[in-house]
Structure 1
Amino acid sequence: MIKIFILCAVFVAVAYGNELFSIQIPGISHYIPNPYIAAPGSSSDLADPVAITEEVATTTSAPLDPPTTKIPENKTSEQGTVEDRTKLVAKLFKDYDKKVNPDDVKLKFGVSLIDFHIDWQDPRLKWNADEYGGATVLRLESDMVWKPDITLYNSADPVNMINCWHSNILVFATGEVLWVPPCKMISRCHLTLNREPYGEQICGLKFGSWTFDGYILDLDFYGGNKTMDLSDLDNSSGFEILSNKAEKTDKFYPCCKEPYPDLTFNLTIKRIPGEELIKKW
């Protein structure tokens, strides 16, 4: 079987015959601006210099007041104080069991070149922000909460189907949980080599839960975006993206009455000839 491997955030490799073409994707930033991170403000007030009054026989001047700096309070509008957060975490996780999944999960899922966007509701993690200094969000280690077992069905590596860094997870007072982990994966695709190596190739990334059916965990697109986020792909990748679209499928098996949903992100790509690639630079 001829395969194409798409390695998100690292490289894209196309293999056929006995040759392997590796195309580096430079210029991809590993910093993800987070709209939920607020920096405490600070300001400084420097007293105005006192004017010097000159007289005929005597010159006097008032000493300058030393500069003063206002110390910011140990809180922000969205996370309260450290005492607020400590009490909140103790309250939320007193009887919380991450091994137990929430009911009727409506999962929102998105894919980019460097990360996933995974969003769901866990009613056990709700709180009244007014009772905790106005804290509306917590940043916690991802291993502290239940997470969906989304995987890449058509992975080319059956042992490490998806490799994700254990980044922090955001938990909001509404019970919303948002996880944006940087991930690496290798997908298997069928190639048509009628015009090798410059023919058009269609590659799909098929994601779904490994154990939950659609009645327990339903899938939909994050932000309603039915495409893969390719904003970090630059002109030096060596490939041109001809089509980028995604679709949801509810699959039924003969054994079972419940649906098993998946989201498949399809890319149609074409290798750019060397001389054209140089012109793009």
Structure 2
Amino acid sequence: TTESKFYSASVARQSLITDLFVNYNALVKPTGEGQRIDVHTNLVLEHFDFRESDGSVHFVGLLNVLWRDPKLGWNPRDYNNLTRIPVRQKLIWVPDLEVYNNAPDKFLRMHHHGTVILAHTGMVLWSDNVDMNVFCSTNMNNWPHDKHECKLNLGSWTYDGFELDFKNYTNPNDSMSFEDKYMASMKYKVT
């Protein structure tokens, strides 16, 4: 019956969460000494505004962060074929994200109390709203047809590149560019 299937899924989910976190420490990087974690990031822009006064850009959007935590994998057959589950972000280790080229009036703001999605493969997806300003490389020589290069330099203050390697990832459903309907009314072009 539907009720027994729900009960089985609920019991399986609870059992899985108990098994995953019985010896898990969210304060400890999940790989051993000298083992690197590839951290893939993607920013889905909802709004941006270039500020000519200080050469910075204000970004508002969704930041997707994806990595593999080998301690958070499981065999779906052991848990009623569950292949992914949502859990509170505070229960797991997450990379400490910093914007190296942030403008001083606004830092990267991510909610560290949200939800992450765990996949049975050990992949973790953390998606959160961001609101930040970053400095750009500006060239006003061809004003009003000037070009500005605004890169988002993400990294970690705690771990070096041998422990965490930040990479861009692209998902066909999540684009760094706005849709055409937004582009028509924009003063700047996003590429």
TM-score by length of 2: 0.76
What are the equivalent positions in structure 2 for 1:34-53 lying under 5 Å apart? Answer: none
Deviation sequence 1:8-48 (CA, Å, 0-9, x none): xxxxxxxxxxxxxxxxxxxxxxxxxxxxxxxxxxxxxxxxx
Identity of aligned pairs, percent?
28
Deviation at 1:195, TM superposition (A): 4.6
Deviation at 1:236, TM superposition (A): 2.3
Find the counterpart in structure 2 of residue 164 from structure 1.
Answer: 110
Find the counterpart in structure 1 of residue 24 from structure 2.
Answer: 96
Q: Is the 8 A contact 1:117 1:222 kept in 2?
A: no
What are the equivalent positions in structure 2 for 1:18-57 lying under 5 Å apart? Answer: none
Find the counterpart in structure 2 of residue 112 from structure 1.
Answer: 44
Find the counterpart in structure 1 of residue 54 from structure 2.
Answer: none
Structure 1 stretches of 4+ moved >4 Å: 73-76, 195-198
Equivalent residue letter for 1:168: T
Deviation at 1:139, TM superposition (A): 0.3
Deviation at 1:108, TM superposition (A): 1.4
What are the equivalent positions in structure 2 for 1:1-281 lying under 5 Å apart? Answer: 72-73=2-3, 75=5, 81-103=9-31, 104-113=36-45, 114-157=61-104, 160-165=106-111, 166-223=113-170, 229-232=176-179, 234=182, 235-241=184-190, 244=191
Deviation at 1:238, TM superposition (A): 2.5
Structure-2 separation of matches of 1:229 and 1:220: 14
Equivalent residue letter for 1:240: K
Deviation at 1:224, TM superposition (A): 8.2
Q: Is the 8 A contact 1:152 1:161 kept in 2?
A: yes
Deviation at 1:88, TM superposition (A): 1.0
Which structure features the higher share of helix residues?
2
Long gaps (5+) in structure 1 = 1-70, 245-281
Equivalent residue letter for 2:163: I
Deviation sequence 1:248-277 (CA, Å, 0-9, x none): xxxxxxxxxxxxxxxxxxxxxxxxxxxxxx
Structure-2 separation of matches of 1:190 and 1:214: 24
Deviation at 1:206, TM superposition (A): 1.1
Equivalent residue letter for 1:162: L
Structure showing greater Rg: 1
Equivalent residue letter for 1:105: I
Equivalent residue letter for 1:205: L
Find the counterpart in structure 1 of residue 52 from structure 2.
Answer: none
Q: Is the 8 A contact 2:154 2:166 kept in 1?
A: no
* Number of residue pairs matched by the alignment: 167
Change (3 A) 1:155 1:232: farther
Q: Is the 8 A contact 1:118 1:222 kept in 2?
A: no
Deviation sequence 1:156-185 (CA, Å, 0-9, x none): 136x52112343100011111111112111
Structure-1 separation of matches of 2:161 and 2:149: 27
Q: Secondary structure at the match of 2:189?
A: strand
